[in-house]
Amino acid sequence: MKVAVVHALTKVSDIVWELPPSYKEGMRVPARIFATERLIREMDEAVFEQISNVATLPGIARCAMCMPDGHSGYGFPIGGVAAMDIARGGVISPGGIGFDINCGMRLVVTNLTWEEVQPHLKRLVDLLYLRVPAGVGSTGFLRLSRPEFRAVLEEGAHWCVRHGYGWHEDLELTEENGRIEGADPDAVSERAIDRGIKQIGTLGSGNHYLEIQVVRPEHIYDRKVAEKFGITIPNQVVVMFHCGSRGFGHQVTSDYLQVFLRVMESKYGIRILDRELASAPFDSPEGQRYFAAMKTALNVSFANRQVILHRIREVFSEVFGRSAEDLGMHMVYDVAHNTAKLERHLVDGQQRQLLVHRKGSTRAFGPGLPGLPERYRDTGQPVIIGGSMETGSYLLVGVPGGGESFFSTAHGSGRTMSRARARRLWRGQTLQQEMETHGVYVRTASWSGLAEEAGGAYKKIDDVVEATELAGLSRRVVRFTPVGNVKG
């Protein structure tokens, strides 16, 4: 990071930093970064340029925010949060949501211990690798007609459960109950449908993964809440996976970026500092059509993760000769990244309806908030933060004081280097061997893709979670140790 940027930052506290509106012409609000000084210095300069650009968008409320795992992205930094006041000309921006719409995390417990699973680990990972396709262009086992796929766009995970790919309780434990209302298949292109129709039940590539993990007793930080979330036995085995809307979401984003670039300035007089922040007024025809299209991608992603869970349950049942119900394979929660949602939040002492963009950021509702499953009403929302495949991941919980960030928190470790640089520093085959030596069995669809996801290419997950907790965004419940991994 350049010294000039460091000097421009105002240190609000040990964990909160700001670029004031005077930092850049056109900023309407401050740009706020939640991070320790160490994490601030690990962030690339583009993070600060991008989050200050976000602060120039029409209708933005309170401040533009970046989470502790922040790194540069398209338009918004990854880890960016911005709430737009729709009554005050707020815009919707695809760059504030991302190409992989509703990329997210799902966590599933079992009643198995590591001692029971260890002898079967390689068979489990090998079967998961076969049953949950990974990598660029991978396709799933579902063969849907176009009418069936359009039904998925509207119904999300509900379509899957209705067709036998899951349990009814899975819906209760999925953000938006696995289906967001207002999705309109007519708002998406035929090209988007072509790209998505064969990809339900697949991981994809990049930082997406499916991981078998263990809860060590010393890594339970809040036993009462952990038990509420289903973590009840020593050395319990859980399964976590991370994926999104794949090619469908990417095409929806690409299509509407072009629409917004055509109308943004000529029709609505919106001038921006970066074309990647192409926007339209939320209440405009273009804004509403994109919002409805984006919701179909949210639903596709919920369906994708639902079918993957179904396949995981099949694999565990096959290996252990017991039903998934008997193995206690219940969901903890499914959280979405890369979304924009209408929510009510307190701003300047008034409740306002805001369009909250979360780009590589997780919703983290505190206790008692509407939208929580009844069983988590008193605890707050489970928050799943994935680490690198070499280090571990966390389960956190939303906190009552999270309103300052519009109840948003970090979503992962956050990269410290480009994928290209990671490929220069690591070889996939060597990395796989080293990880197995350290107790993590990995199957991958791409050696270069594996190298890109080396642990050294990411911030330390413990540092990110510590900053998240110190900032009052969410708090630790459990840390997970990886033992088996399927990578795209």
Q: Is 411 annotated in the active site? A: yes
Query: Binning pLDDT at 50, 70 and 90, where does residue 417 land?
Result: confident
pLDDT at 241 over 60: yes
What pLDDT does residue 389 have?
81
Burial of residue 305, with CB atoms counted within 10 A of its CB: 0-12 exposed, 13-18 middle, 19 or more buried: buried
What pLDDT does residue 66 have?
98
21 and 63 Cβ atoms separated by less than 8 Å = no
Q: Which whole number is the average pLDDT over 393-415? A: 95
Percent of the chain at pLDDT above 70? 99
Two structure tokens written together for 358 = 């979360």
What pLDDT does residue 4 have?
57
Q: Which whole number is the average pLDDT over 301-329? A: 98
Q: How many CB atoms lie within 10 A of CB 472?
A: 18
What pLDDT does residue 27 have?
97
What pLDDT does residue 400 have?
97
Compute the Cα dihedral for 406, 410, 416, 422 and give only its sign.
negative
Q: Which of 219, 310, 357, 411 is catalytic?
A: 411
Prediction pTM value: 0.96
Percent of the chain at pLDDT above 90? 88
Q: Where are the extended beta strands (E) located within 386-458?
A: 393-398, 408-409, 441-444
Question: Which range (25-29, 375-379, 423-427) has the least confidence?
Answer: 423-427
Q: What is the pLDDT of residues 61-118, one digit of tens each?
A: 999 999 999 999 999 999 999 999 999 999 999 999 999 999 999 999 999 999 999 9
Q: How many CB atoms lie within 10 A of CB 224?
A: 8
Query: Binning pLDDT at 50, 70 and 90, where does residue 6 land?
Result: low
The chain-wide mean pLDDT, for the chain, equals: 95
Question: Which range (327-341, 377-391, 414-428) has the least confidence?
Answer: 414-428
268 and 146 Cβ atoms separated by less than 8 Å = no
DSSP letter for 261, please. H
Q: What is the pLDDT of residues 428-479, one digit of tens each?
A: 999 999 989 999 999 998 999 999 888 888 889 999 999 999 999 999 999 9
Q: Which whole number is the average pLDDT over 22-48? A: 95
Question: Which residues have a Cβ under 8 Å from the Cβ of 196 and sit 6 or more positions away?
Answer: 149, 245, 246, 247, 248, 249, 251, 300
3-state secondary structure at position 323? coil
328 and 111 Cβ atoms separated by less than 8 Å = yes
What pLDDT does residue 488 have?
77
Q: What is the pLDDT of residues 195-221, one digit of tens each?
A: 999 999 999 888 899 999 999 999 999
